Structure 1
Amino acid sequence: MMKTFALLAALLSIAPLSQAACTKPPLGDATLYLRGTINNWAAPDEQAFEYRCDAYYLNLKAQGAHEFKLADEDWTPALTFGGDAKGNPARGAGGNLKRQFSGEHTLRLAIAADGAAALDIGPQTFKPTPPEPLTDRAALTTRFDSRNAGSKSPFGAQPKGQAFTFQIGNDVPGLLRATLVIERRRMTGNQEQLAYEPLARIAMKPAPRGLGTGFSASYRFDEVGVFGYWFEIETVQGRYALQNNKDAVYWTREKGAMGPGTVERLPSNLNRVRRYRQTIYAPDFKVPDWAKDVVYYYVFPERFRNGDTANDPRPGGGRPQDRYQDRDVERHATWNEKPFKPNTGDGSDALFNNDFFGGDLQGLTTKLDYIKGLGANALYLTPVFRAPSNHKYDAADYKQIDPAFGTNADFERLCTEAAKRGIRVIPDTSLNHVGADSPYFNRFNNFPAGGAFDGGRINPASPYASWFKFKPEEKEADKQYQGWAGVADLPEIDKSSPSFRAYAYRDNDSVTNYWLDRGAAGWRMDVAPWVPDDFWREWRQAVKARKPDALTVAETWFDASKYFLGDMFDSTMNYIFRNAVLDYAAGQSGQQMAANLELLREAYPPQAFHALMNLLSTHDQPRALHHFGEDRDLALAKQRLRLAVFFQMTYPGAPTIYYGDEVGLGGGDDPYNRAPYPWADQGGRPDEALLADFKRLTQLRHDLPVLRRGTLTAPLHVDDHVVVLARQHGKTWALTATNNSSVAKTVSIRLSFAATALKDVLGGEVIAVTNGAIELTVPPLFGRVLVGP
């Protein structure tokens, strides 16, 4: 008997144990995931632990150092294991676990009766339990496709009051009943709280379909919101969920990119169902019309151009810009040095974000002709208001330009000069947190008494006291208030404070109005998911009342559908686009890119979809060239960048050029993604050939309204390498084709419109249409644009 059990244990890849040693899962039916830098802190199925006898097991393939926690999908505190002071897993610990990986591993998490946890990582030995096969033919052949008019009509996001028809079915006998399940999504915060509340269960009407059965139902959405729907089907063998697919969506907790559905056994816990999503927006939701024509130039001002050396931060200077909190700033000796990163041996001090090069608003103003020549017509600036850091998200005065950047008059002059060139200016700020070194908080006593935390002591008499939530019972100063994301330098604001809301947007001279009155064309709002929805609803009303054509842009990284209902934002920083396009241009499958982008086409209202801030590089992520392997093959990386920019300039939304990308500026994680622009007169070496290619592609977009305003249809062709899309604007159609292979690819394309010939607008070639189709050869690592009829 013991020999038999030892054999069984070996097959299960666990140490031989007595039968009594196997225990029930200490976390009940909860599922734990490895969530960290390896997967953007998401909870993908492939990183889900399986409980087996005595512990939780996960096979993981990874390379290099990674930080992570072990947690459920909801980040439930009792089900989250972080790193304690010694780096070991502990329930509720705030730190991250840090481990080095080198290939294929098995992770084993054991939880003792007293709750103590131990994590072992070794060679891969665990054999996961294979899923139970599904053999019910009637269930497996039942079809639904949210993008097919025969399954669902109308397509995509729709205004309130719209009725939909849903149809499912198969061509084999055995499908007995079907129910359309409608739910409302409740989603707050940064995806941590996600749930669906039941709205309706509608018995679908059967109708013969060959040897099988079709089912149909209708539903009218009479409220604004994001809704979920799926189908419960029943055969003679059981009940099943016809639901969304398993496609991963970048940065987004919910799985499934919509389109063709999948069938699985009906789970006992309906939270496991993957819902299709349906966005229902306000009928009066309007986005400024000019947003469709925007090409952004995205600038980190401290690193773009030094136009006035007199305002440069300098150690020992005695001015506000010369001090960082309670010590001197660091000053770079030359413009083209690498940014400092503490603890790397570069000679810098131990503080982050306190090194300066001298970029300012005067520098931006002097380079407006350059920005216009590049083809940009909107200037997005990371914060320029007074703050001690180089990034300025630690606001010290929302109504003053930082003295290192210039004056309020310099901002007005920038907006005026930009407007003369057809360029709009959109500033950025955070209404979620301020700086500890600010008159609002005043932790370092650098301002007159009156801050809410003067000199590290709670000041109830401060006019800003209601802006923050304090814990006076705590003894340590850092624990007496909440720093955003645990960062003590960024005291988090209580956004429910009437005093703060008045200052932020309700007062006639509020922060929001103050800069709109001085030339801002809109606002980009930092960390939008950490601010309550009702705050943004009021804020939007204030913005539009002051300047009806102002554009509002949220910083969200995941599926932002809930912000596009007509009551919060017009646009978002489109990180889903960024990751999808970068991975495709780096050689990953076109099908993966298309799935993510098609989700956005289906989920977002068209007016928001055409205004999305379509990024490739940002100040929060490694630059595109780094993603493409600049350190391995710079020439190849630049060609992949050209491909990504080609796709960016021919896709709906607002192409966004992060300063320096256009001349080959690279760099990995912060701070290296914030390097100075390599101006030639400062010793830099800008890639003029790459710059010319950027200009050619922005000009292409400006020359063809169909590329800016054209409606996007379903892809005409998608494979691992080639993606062919169709756009329509009036009577004009455009086909855009891209190829991420290192060799040319030829594909046959059946057109979705009538034409006898199409013209290649880059090469001039005329391609004949034969029987409604064309043969199209797409060059390696680039693309083509064909226009007709």
Structure 2
Amino acid sequence: MSYFYNSWDADYKSPFGAIRRNQGCQFTIRLPEETPLDYAPVLVVFRTGFKERFLPMNVKECENGYVLYTTTLIPKYAGVHYYYFSYTSNGVRHYIKRGDACHGTLDHGEMFQLTVFGEDYQTPQFLKGGVMYQIFPDRFCSSGKAHENVPSDRVMRNWGELPYYKPDQNGHVWNNDYFGGDLEGIRSKLDYLEDLGVTCIYLNPVFESHENHRYNTANYRNLDPLLGTNEDFRKLCEDAKKRGISVILDGVFSHTGADSIYFNKFGRYDNLGAYQSEQSPYYSWYHFWGNKEYESWWGIDTLPNVDENNPDYTKYICGEGGVLDYWMDLGAAGYRLDVADELPDEFLDNLRACVKKYDEEKIVIGEVWEDASNKEAYGVKRRYLLGDQLDSVMNYPFREAIIAYMKGEAVTTFRDRIMGILENYPKCTVDVLMNFVSTHDIERAINRFGGQPCDDKSKDWMAGNELSPEEYNRGKTMLKGAMVLQFFLPGVPSIYYGDEAGLQGWKDPFNRRCYPWGNEDTELLEYTRQLAHIRRENAVFAEGAMEFLVLEENIVGFSRYDEETGSSAIVLLNRSGDTGMVSLRDKCFRKYAFSTVISGICDGDAIILPANSYAVISAVRTSVPVAEAEQN
């Protein structure tokens, strides 16, 4: 080893990754013995906006021509800290900074990151080890039941038709076509979801709204009439709970609909809306200027922004008996927060306090597309994962890493992307990360894998282009590999409804097509069940640590293990079209004693990996190489 420091190696930094406030963290660097020092090296640590701290490092030991210097940091404040090392030799000051994903390099590079989170930060247990299932309510299943008070301006479509996407003469797409999916339909499929291995349903918005996506809330306290009644929601939660399934709601709190009881721009409601009069009880929620002009979400005038920190609005959502309490009373297990980076810190603080006051096991998940530990939004360094706001986030960084790897990116780049998130996020957050490959906001993974890039394509192109049989098979093969990573990497796999059935879809609204009941890809469906079964039967996938073991051109292997008991599951994935083999006698497995091949082909001390296949092996991880342990 010739490097100075490795932030992923316990010999250099212990413990790995983010730490709690007031928890000790030991740092060690290596310098060549012949390096003349004017004085002891120092660890330099700082938070944005605060002065540096300089911690002297002491000699730990000498080994193989190097001197090891060490020090211990006990951080007093939560926040994202940055650090590097410095020493002076013959009057010249030198720096050890991050040269690549984890290694220290001399006199150039970036700062290392150390996330310090609250001492009491914990995340809900109910989601750990589970499987999430995301449902776009209008498109999953229709009960056929007639519903009352459904507005007459909704256009009802036949199940399975192409969603309407063309704008009107003013260039506006009204999203007013509906396929009749409802909560009773979801309830009728709970046995299907249970059999699939699902333990948590995440519902896209269900509150009363006047577009099919329902992100333009019309009334936070009413279920949309086409989905059923508030009592239907209670029944869904109760019946789901009997099967060990929780239900999470989509919370859209950065804006409302213009067509709502709060704004009432089009006069649909009898009450006085903010658009109609300054005397409206909701007027202070919004920002107006000029002649009825108002601030709207990304300039979309049907989505007026709210002032989340307006006391009346905060009380309405987060107060005693407010919106959050109301739906948790009916059975909601928590909330996924739409556009979390547009919700101010104070509002997120209040929201979490409300949810956790109700029950510590209720969860708060944020929509964040980047690394949420160091995210800056609107000039503010966000503190999502420090213990006062979110439990989890939508794991877009993992999604992009998985997609890129399955499409041919180098295995070392994949490792670096995964390890970067594991290093920056609190472990309790990692255990409940929402790991997906498709959602309602992006093209389905099978299209991303099998078809052409669609970023530069028109809606007309997307409407008229299905995957060819060849493209579908290619996409399905790569999707299966991606699902292996999705299910067995740290976090919680989130299946976007229909992915398990081979449902296709480019970007919105084509990624929101109806579930193909009766026309599922049964082989893919059974494959998904198998992954969920393996995950459920092996406890290490709930909260186990992780280390990469095999990094070959087309084979990646990693372990999930319990640091106390040593119980482990080793996952191997062959992404190529050729047969591969991994020897269990390889040096990378020296700390593992193997017991059972859970899935895959074993030939003596070798695991055979046919084209585009995976294997899972049960093992025990020891703190010393197995051969040495046997000798002792």
Give 1:413-562 correspondences, 5 Å limit: 413-454=235-276, 459-471=277-289, 474-475=290-291, 477=292, 480-506=293-319, 508-561=320-373, 562=383
2:576 pairs with 741, 750, 755, which one? 741
**Partner residue of 1:342?**
166
Specify the code of the residue in structure 2 equivalent to 1:331.
M
CA contact 2:202–2:250 (8 Å) conserved in 1: yes
- The answer to whether 1:379 aligns with 2:201 is yes
Q: Distance in 2 between matches of 1:651 and 1:411?
A: 32
Alignment correspondent of 2:619: 788
Residue identity opposite 1:523 in structure 2: Y
> How far does the alpha carbon of each residue in 1:166-201 deviate from its partner, in whole angstroms, 9 at most, with x for none?
22233274564644221214xxxxxxxxxx543313
Structure 2 Cα separation of the partners of residues 721 and 633 of structure 1: 21
- Offset, 1:275: 2.2
Which residue in the other structure is 2:567 paired with? 732
Cα deviations by residue, 1:326-361 (Å, 9 ceiling, x for unpaired): xxx4433x2112212225x9x998414222211111
Question: Which residue pairs with 1:275 in the alignment?
Answer: 111
* Pair 1:572–1:767, CA change in 2 (3 A): farther
Query: TM-score normalized by structure 2?
Result: 0.87
Could you say which residue in structure 2 is the equivalent of 1:180?
A: 43
Q: Which residue of 2 aligns with 1:298?
A: 134
Aligned partner of 1:595 in structure 2 is 416
> What's the Cα RMSD here?
2.6
Which residue of 2 is the match for residue 673 of structure 1? 511
Q: For residues 221 and 276 of structure 1, what CA distance do their matches in structure 2 show? A: 15
1:698 paired with 2:532, answer yes
Q: Does the 8 A contact of 1:760 with 1:766 survive in 2?
A: no
Q: List per-residue Cα deviations over 1:285-306 (Å, max 9, x = no partner).
A: 2212222122011100011111
Distance 2:349 2:301 in 1: 28
1:574 equivalent in structure 2: 395
Per the TM alignment, residue 428 of structure 1 is displaced from its structure 2 partner at its CA by: 0.8
- Cα deviation for residue 533 of structure 1 reads 1.7
Per the TM alignment, residue 499 of structure 1 is displaced from its structure 2 partner at its CA by 0.5
Tell whether the 8 Å contact from 1:588 to 1:720 is kept in structure 2 after alignment: no
Distance 1:226 1:482 in 2: 32
Distance in 1 of aligned mates of 2:349 and 2:9: 34
Amino acid at match of 1:483: S
- Give the match's secondary structure for 1:599: helix
Q: 1:759 aligns with which of 596, 604, 609?
A: 596
**Could you tell me how far 1:262 is from its partner in structure 2?**
3.5
**What amino acid sits opposite 1:691 in the alignment?**
L
The answer to whether residue 539 in structure 2 is matched with residue 718 in structure 1 is no
Contact 2:601 2:615 (8 Å CA) reproduced: no
Q: Which amino acid aligns with 2:44?
A: V
Q: Is the 8 A contact 1:182 1:229 kept in 2?
A: yes
User: Unpaired runs of 5+ in structure 1?
Assistant: 1-139, 186-195, 247-257, 266-272, 313-318, 324-328, 769-774
1:401 CA drift (Å): 0.3
Going from structure 1 to structure 2, the CA distance change for 1:224 and 1:752 (only over 3 Å counts) comes to: farther
SS of 2:44's partner is strand
Distance 1:756 1:525 in 2: 43
SS of structure 1 residue aligned to 2:432: coil
Native 8 Å contact 1:175 1:212 kept in 2 = no
Residues 663-693 of structure 1 show CA distances to partners (whole Å, capped at 9, x for unaligned) of 101111111111111112xxxx211111111
| Amino acid in the other structure paired with 2:612 | L
Q: CA deviation at 1:554?
A: 1.2
Displacement of 1:728 in angstroms is 1.8
Larger radius of gyration: 1
* 1:166 equivalent among 20, 23, 27: 27
**What amino acid is aligned across from residue 707 of structure 1 in structure 2?**
F
Task: Give, in whole Å, the separation in 1 of the partners of 2:107 and 2:270.
Answer: 64
Counterpart mapping for 1:205-244 below 5 A: 205=58, 214-234=68-88, 239=93, 241-244=95-98
TM-score by length of 1: 0.70
Q: Distance in 1 between matches of 2:483 and 2:44?
A: 41
- The superposition leaves residues 519-546 of structure 1 with CA deviations (integer Å, 9 ceiling, x where unpaired) of 1111111111111222222221211121
Once residues 175 and 723 of structure 1 are traced to their aligned partners in structure 2, the CA distance between those partners, rounded to angstroms, is 42
Offset of 1:233 from its aligned partner? 4.9
Q: Does 2:82 align with 1:261?
A: no
Give the Cα–Cα distance (whole angstroms) in 2 for the partners of residues 232 and 448 of structure 1: 68
Q: Secondary structure at the match of 2:127?
A: helix
Match of 1:392 among 214, 237, 241: 214
TM-aligned CA distance change 1:211 to 1:761, over 3 Å: closer
Q: Alpha-carbon deviation of 1:217?
A: 3.4
Seen in structure 2, the aligned counterparts of structure 1 residues 374 and 200 have a Cα distance that, compared at 3 Å, is: same
* CA apart distance, 1:566: 1.8
Cα 1:697–1:464 change in 2 (3 A) is: same
Equivalence for 2:623: none
Return 5+ residue gaps in structure 2 as ranges: 374-382, 452-466, 621-632
Cα distance 1:570–1:753, how it changes in 2: closer, same or farther (>3 A)?
Answer: farther
* Equivalent in the alignment of 1:49: none
Given candidates 663, 674, 687, the residue that maps to 2:521 is 687
Question: 2:22 & 2:579 partners in 1: Cα distance?
Answer: 48
**Which residue is 1:662 aligned to?**
500
The reply on whether 1:642 has 2:477 as its aligned counterpart is no
Report Cα offsets for 1:235-292 as digits up to 9, x if no partner. 569655432345xxxxxxxxxxx42134454xxxxxxx63221111222222122221
SS at match of 2:235: helix
Write the distance in 2 (CA, Å) between the matches of 1:234 and 1:778.
52
In structure 2, what is the equivalent of residue 64 of structure 1? none
Between the two proteins, the alignment pairs up a number of residues equal to: 587
1:497, distance to aligned residue in structure 2 (A): 0.7
Q: Report deviation, 1:489.
A: 1.6
Indicate which of 17, 24, 35 corresponds to 1:156: 17
Q: Distance in 2 between matches of 1:533 and 1:767?
A: 56
Matched-pair contact (CA < 8 Å) for 2:600–2:608: no
> For residues 494 and 245 of structure 1, what CA distance do their matches in structure 2 show?
43
Aligned mates of 2:253, 2:274 — CA distance in 1: 17
Aligned partners of 2:601 and 2:608 also within 8 Å: no
Give the drift of 1:743: 1.3
Pair 1:244–1:146, CA change in 2 (3 A): same
Q: 1:370 to 1:745 in 2, by over 3 A?
A: same
Q: Could you report, residue by residue, the CA deviation over 1:457-514 in whole angstroms, capped at 9, with x for unpaired residues?
A: xx2211112212222xx34x4xx321122222211111111101111011x3200000
Q: Structure 1 655/767 Cα, relative in aligned 2: closer, same or farther at 3 Å?
A: farther
Partner Cα distance (2:262, 2:170) in 1: 29
Is 1:322 paired with 2:152?
yes
Q: Which deviations, in whole Å up to 9, do the C-alpha atoms of 1:95-127 show, x marking residues without a partner?
A: xxxxxxxxxxxxxxxxxxxxxxxxxxxxxxxxx
Note if contact 1:716-1:750 (Cα within 8 Å) is conserved in structure 2: no
Question: What SS class does the counterpart of residue 358 from structure 1 fall into?
Answer: coil
**Alpha-carbon contact 1:759-1:767 (below 8 Å) kept:** no
Query: Which SS does the other structure have where 1:503 is aligned?
Result: helix
- One-letter amino acid matched to 1:200: R
Question: Residues 15-50 of structure 1: CA distance to partner in whole angstroms, max 9, x if unpaired?
Answer: xxxxxxxxxxxxxxxxxxxxxxxxxxxxxxxxxxxx
